[in-house]
């Protein structure tokens, strides 16, 4: 149940201002750490501002949406919703300058496939990625544990798809609307747009689902006001004002979506390549040296683990640490 879930307890926020403050905090933390020797003017010229990070992340949310749309085999909508939740949550705790969105994006989708039991192998998954698929595989697998850690291992996501089906069944039963299934295209379009807003981080799946149903109904010139006030909340009218406000806010967020200007995005992409943390850049020498050292350390542990004179309890401890350090068995070209 959503009401008892980790999603509601830890990952649902009251206001957009609260989310904005978390994002600004991550931006300031990164700049403070990596720009300690710079003047304020140099910092502004070199690093992304919090607003610039937000604009860039919106562009990558569009890319996430398109990636899932083109995915083969066709990806269920609830998997897409889970991937969006992971992506949004990750960047409440991290800066895009620390971990590039294009790398985290693919990892979010891959983890969502596993958690939601949409069974695709890593080979099938990277077949949907253009470019160096072997490199993509290494990046995804090496980021998988990081992503789970940043999500605090709260991986279960409650999406609006199940409440939507419940509403449609209920409308067929208790409403005079002819063929409620004709609402589906409008509902799906609305849900797709909510993924590009902060609504999933602020509202219950049932509230988002009802907003989608009411929006689709209005597009079909249908009025469901009496269904909501009498059928759904006839015996709980005290809860109606909160619901109406939530639905109004969700619909407003969808209505006011602004797509990032392409020229601005290109400028920010170039700026990000210059200011990103090279320790987390798979193309950098620093990253490759760090990975090489990690493997060398693991090789040393393997040798120690196979030693006849090694204490058994110590061996178990080292093996556990080894699995935690590199669960993905990454390889460096």
Per cent of the chain over pLDDT 70 is 87
Residues 136, 10, single domain; the answer is yes
Residue 233 pLDDT: 81
Residue 317 pLDDT: 35
Residues 153, 60, single domain; the answer is yes
Residues 91, 202, single domain; the answer is no
pLDDT band at 304 (very low <50, low <70, confident <90, very high): low
Residue 295 pLDDT: 64
Res. 314: pLDDT tops 50: no
- The 10s digit of each residue's pLDDT in 185-219 is 999 999 999 999 999 999 999 999 999 999 999 99
Omega before 200 within 30 of 0, i.e. cis: no
Residues 12, 43, single domain; the answer is yes
Backbone angles phi, psi at 297, to 5 degrees: -65, -40
pLDDT band at 284 (very low <50, low <70, confident <90, very high): confident
Domain ranges, residue 201: 160-256
Overall domain count for the chain? 2
Q: What is the largest CA-CA distance in the chain?
A: 79
Residues 146, 201, single domain; the answer is no
Neighbours of 206 (CB within 10 A): 19
Any domain includes 276: no
- Compute the average pLDDT of residues 150-176: 95
Residue 287 pLDDT: 75
Residues 122, 16, single domain; the answer is yes
Distance, in Å, from the CA atom of 171 to the CA atom of 220, rounded to the nearest integer, reads 15
Task: Name, in order, each residue with C-beta under 8 angstroms of 244's C-beta and a sequence gap of 6 or more.
Answer: none
Of 253, 158, 160, the C-alpha closest to 208 is 160
Mean pLDDT estimate for the chain: 89
Any domain includes 175: yes
Give CA separation, 42 vs 36, 46, 78, 82, in Å: 11, 6, 44, 38
pLDDT band at 332 (very low <50, low <70, confident <90, very high): very low
Residue 301 pLDDT: 58
Res. 319: pLDDT tops 70: no
Distance, in Å, from the CA atom of 254 to the CA atom of 192, rounded to the nearest integer, reads 10
pLDDT band at 293 (very low <50, low <70, confident <90, very high): confident
Tokens 């909501």 locate to 228
Of 182, 180, 184, 205, the C-alpha closest to 194 is 205
pLDDT band at 294 (very low <50, low <70, confident <90, very high): low
pLDDT band at 50 (very low <50, low <70, confident <90, very high): very high
202 contacts 259 by C-beta, under 8 angstroms: no
pLDDT band at 236 (very low <50, low <70, confident <90, very high): confident
Of 96, 144, 76, the C-alpha closest to 326 is 144
Any domain includes 315: no
Any domain includes 278: no
Q: What is the CATH number of the domain that holds 199?
A: 1.10.472.10
- The 10s digit of each residue's pLDDT in 62-82 is 999 999 999 999 999 999 999
């Amino acid at each position: 149940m959503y009401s008892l879930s980790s999603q509601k307890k830890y990952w649902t926020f009251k206001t957009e201002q609260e989310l904005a403050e978390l994002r600004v905090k991550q931006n300031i933390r990164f700049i403070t750490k990596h720009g300690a020797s710079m003047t304020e003017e140099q910092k502004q010229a070199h690093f992304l501002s919090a607003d610039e990070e937000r604009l860039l992340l919106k562009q990558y949310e569009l890319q996430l949406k398109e990636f899932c749309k083109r995915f083969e085999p066709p990806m269920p909508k609830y998997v897409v919703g889970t991937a969006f939740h992971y992506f949004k949550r990750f960047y409440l705790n991290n800066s895009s300058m620390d971990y590039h969105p294009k790398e985290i994006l693919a990892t979010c989708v891959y983890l969502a496939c596993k958690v939601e039991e949409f069974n695709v192998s890593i080979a099938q998954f990277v077949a949907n990625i253009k470019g160096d698929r072997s490199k993509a595989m290494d990046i995804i697998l090496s980021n998988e544990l990081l992503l789970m850690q940043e999500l605090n291992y709260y991986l279960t996501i409650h999406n609006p798809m199940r409440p939507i089906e419940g509403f449609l069944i209920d409308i067929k039963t208790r409403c005079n609307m002819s063929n409620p299934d004709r609402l589906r295209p409008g509902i799906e379009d609305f849900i797709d747009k909510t993924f590009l807003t902060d609504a999933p981080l602020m509202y219950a799946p049932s509230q988002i689902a009802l907003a989608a149903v009411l929006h689709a109904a209005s597009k079909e010139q249908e009025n469901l006001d009496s269904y909501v006030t009498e059928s759904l909340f006839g015996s709980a009218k005290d809860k109606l004002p909160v619901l109406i406000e939530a639905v109004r806010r969700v619909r407003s967020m969808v209505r006011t979506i602004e797509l990032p200007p392409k020229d601005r995005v290109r400028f920010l992409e170039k700026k990000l390549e210059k200011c990103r943390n090279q320790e987390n850049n798979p193309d950098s020498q620093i990253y490759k040296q760090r990975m090489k050292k990690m493997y060398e350390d693991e090789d040393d542990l393997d040798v120690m683990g196979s030693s006849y004179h090694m204490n058994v309890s110590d061996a178990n401890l080292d093996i556990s640490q080894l699995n935690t350090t590199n669960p993905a068995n990454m390889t460096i070209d």
